[in-house]
Structure 1
Amino acid sequence: MIEDSSSELWVAALVVILCLLLSAFFSAGETAFTGASKARMLFLEKGGDRRAILVNRLLQMRERFIGTVLIGNNIVNIGVSAFATSVLVAIFGDGGALYATVIMSVLVIVFAEVMPKTIAISSPDKVSLALSGPMSWVVAFIGPLAIAIERLVRLMLKPFGIHIGANTPILSASEEMRGQLDLLHKEGNVAKVERDMMGGLLDLEELSVSEVMVHRTKMRTINVDLSSEEIVREVLSSPYTRMPLWRGSQENIIGVLHAKDLLRALDAVGGDAGRLEVESIALESWFVPDTTSLRDQLKAFLTKKTHFALVVDEYGEVMGLVTLEDILEEIVGDIKDEHDLSVQGVRPQPNGSVNVDGSVPIRDLNRVMDWNLPDEEATTIAGLVIHEAQAIPDTGQIFTFHGFRFQVLRKSRNRITALRITPLAVLRKADEASPSARRTPA
Structure 2
Amino acid sequence: MNGYGWDIALIAALIVLNALFAGTEIALVSLRQSQLRRLRRKDGSAAAARLVRLTDDPNRYLATIQIGITLAGFLASATAAVSLAEPLVPLLAFAGRAAAPLAVALVTALLTFVTLVVGELAPKRLAMQYPQRWSLIAATPLNALATLARPVVWSLGETTNLLVRLLGGDPKAGSQPPTPEELRDMVVSHRGLTPEQRTIISSALEIHERTLRVALVPRRAVFTLSSEVSAARARTELARAGHSRAPVVTAAGFEEVVGVVHIKDVTTSEDDTPVGDLARPATVFTEYMKVTEALRRFQADRQQFALVTDEHGSVEGIVTLEDLLAEIVGEIYDETVRDSQDVIPQPDGSWLAPGSFPVRGLPDLGIDPSDLGEAGPYTTVAGLVLHRLGRLPEPGSAVGVGRWAVEVTAVDKDVIEEVRIRPAAGGEPPDRKPSAGRRNGDATTG
TM-score (norm 2): 0.73
The 1-side partners of 2:9 and 2:25 are apart by: 24
The 2-side partners of 1:107 and 1:264 are apart by: 84
Alignment of 1:157-176 (within 5 A): 158=168, 166-169=173-176, 171-172=178-179, 174-175=180-181
- Structure 2 CA distance for partners of 1:329 and 1:138, relative to 1, 3 Å: farther
- Structure 2 CA distance for partners of 1:30 and 1:222, relative to 1, 3 Å: same
- Structure 2 CA distance for partners of 1:393 and 1:220, relative to 1, 3 Å: closer
- The residue aligned with 2:21 is 26
- The residue aligned with 1:111 is 118
The alpha-carbon deviation at position 334 of structure 1 amounts to 2.0
The alpha-carbon deviation at position 74 of structure 1 amounts to 5.3
TM-score (norm 1): 0.74
1:292 aligns with 2:289: yes
1:357 aligns with 2:368: no
Moved more, 118-127 or 71-80: 71-80
- Structure 2 CA distance for partners of 1:212 and 1:145, relative to 1, 3 Å: farther
What letter is aligned with 1:200? S
Structure number with greater CO (CA < 8 Å, separation at least 6) is 2
- Provide the alpha-carbon RMSD of the alignment: 4.2
The 2-side partners of 1:352 and 1:422 are apart by: 8
1:256 aligns with 2:260: yes
- The residue aligned with 2:240 is 237
1:398 aligns with 2:400: yes
The alpha-carbon deviation at position 112 of structure 1 amounts to 0.6
The 1-side partners of 2:11 and 2:245 are apart by: 79
Q: 2:134 aligns with which of 109, 118, 127?
A: 127
What letter is aligned with 1:246? V
What letter is aligned with 1:418? V
- The residue aligned with 1:435 is none
Paired residue total: 405
The 2-side partners of 1:391 and 1:164 are apart by: 56
- Structure 2 CA distance for partners of 1:421 and 1:76, relative to 1, 3 Å: farther
- The residue aligned with 2:38 is 43
Note the alpha carbon deviations across 1:73-128, whole angstroms, 9 max, x for none. Answer: 45643564355335556775322331232122222122112321233234333222
The 1-side partners of 2:48 and 2:368 are apart by: 38
Give structure 1 stretches of 5+ with no counterpart: 431-442
Cα pair 2:229 2:274 within 8 Å, conserved = no
- Structure 2 CA distance for partners of 1:163 and 1:386, relative to 1, 3 Å: farther
Moved more, 223-232 or 286-295: 223-232
- The residue aligned with 1:155 is 166
- The residue aligned with 1:433 is none
Cα pair 1:386 1:393 within 8 Å, conserved = no
The 1-side partners of 2:172 and 2:365 are apart by: 39
The 2-side partners of 1:164 and 1:347 are apart by: 59
- The residue aligned with 1:373 is 369
- The residue aligned with 2:187 is 181
The alpha-carbon deviation at position 214 of structure 1 amounts to 1.2
SS in 1 for 2:307: strand
Note the alpha carbon deviations across 1:325-374, whole angstroms, 9 max, x for none. Answer: 112223332222222333334233456554443432244455x5587737
- Structure 2 CA distance for partners of 1:111 and 1:154, relative to 1, 3 Å: same
Alignment of 1:218-367 (within 5 A): 218-225=221-228, 231=234, 233-247=236-250, 248-265=252-269, 269=270, 271=271, 273=272, 276-350=273-347, 353-366=350-363
1:195 aligns with 2:206: no
Cα pair 1:310 1:321 within 8 Å, conserved = yes
SS in 1 for 2:285: strand
Cα pair 1:37 1:125 within 8 Å, conserved = no
